[in-house]
Amino acid sequence: MKILFIGDIVGEPGRRAVKQLVPKLRLEHQVNLVVANGENSAGGSGITPNTAAEIYAAGVDIITSGDHLWDQKDVIGLLQNDRRFLRPLNYPPETPGQGSTIIQSESLAPVAVMNLQGRAFMQDLENPFWAARAEVERLRSRTRVIFVDMHAEATSEKIAIARMLDGKVSAVIGTHTHVQTADEQIFPGGTAFLCDAGFTGAHESVLGREIEPVLKRFLTNQPQRFEVARKRVFLQGALVDIDADTGRALNIKRISEPLPAQET
């Protein structure tokens, strides 16, 4: 079983890269399931039902999120009505939406996808370690294939939670920092890990935003409007090959696919 994970989709250029490249990648790598972090897909901050629909139409099966979950008020429609959309699991229990889901079909073994958010240098949610431990035990009663998006700032927090879950989940892929790391590996228990998947959007930028306003903010401390950049667009993420019977990862490969020049 092959799962393609797509790092944070940033604005319209990111959505365009998904639209143009996901069908190609699905065919080229014989991908069975596509998961994408979409928390920056609407104007570079947040997500709406319309941007989610555009991402699904491109061939994405599950959308995860993170600390920009609430940046668009229309997100409540996704949280209340869309079982393919995940918020971080470690929100309080009364929060709308869900932190995990299981995909089942006639042609595919059951696959669980879980979304977590870290606490170091971020909003102080419930403890993701305790939340993950309990939810993984529940999910493992239904499937051995469990894929985790760990949305966090601190590399240590991402690595630690992956080490805790080694042998219990198929993969832990980090998001949030928008910088693709080169530490892809499979831990001894069979869990694939990548500290950060990178981002899908314009890379002639500062993390997907126009360069000059970001520089001005650093130089002057004055508020700036960070418009979404548009040049040199890439789709970044990871491709994980998993044994559907055992849930163990067999291989992990980083993906960094440029959008053809005429499409940028």
Question: Around Cβ 215, how many Cβ atoms within 10 Å?
Answer: 12
Query: Quick one: pLDDT at residue 260?
Result: 87
pTM: 0.95
Rounded distance, CA 46 to CA 37, Å? Answer: 11
The verdict on residue 123 lying in a domain is: yes
| Size of the chain in residues | 264
Residue 80 is part of which domain span? 2-259
End-to-end CA, the chain: 32
Q: How many domains does the chain have?
A: 1
Q: Give bridge partners of residue 206 from the DSSP assignment.
A: 209
8 A C-beta contact, residue 48 and residue 69: no
Residue at token pair 């940033």: 10
The verdict on residue 264 lying in a domain is: no
What is the DSSP secondary structure assignment for residue 46, as one 8-state letter?
-
Rounded distance, CA 261 to CA 264, Å? Answer: 5
Query: Quick one: pLDDT at residue 108?
Result: 85
8 A C-beta contact, residue 20 and residue 259: yes
Rounded distance, CA 89 to CA 59, Å? Answer: 24
**CATH number of residue 137's parent domain:** 3.60.21.10
pLDDT in tens, the chain (264 residues): 999 999 999 999 999 999 999 999 999 999 999 999 999 999 889 999 999 999 999 999 999 999 999 999 999 999 999 999 999 999 999 999 999 999 988 778 899 999 999 999 998 899 999 999 999 999 999 999 999 999 999 999 999 999 999 999 999 999 999 999 999 999 999 999 999 999 999 999 999 999 999 999 999 999 999 999 999 999 999 999 999 999 999 999 999 999 987 555
Query: Quick one: pLDDT at residue 105?
Result: 81
The verdict on residue 202 lying in a domain is: yes
Catalytic residues, by residue number, are 68
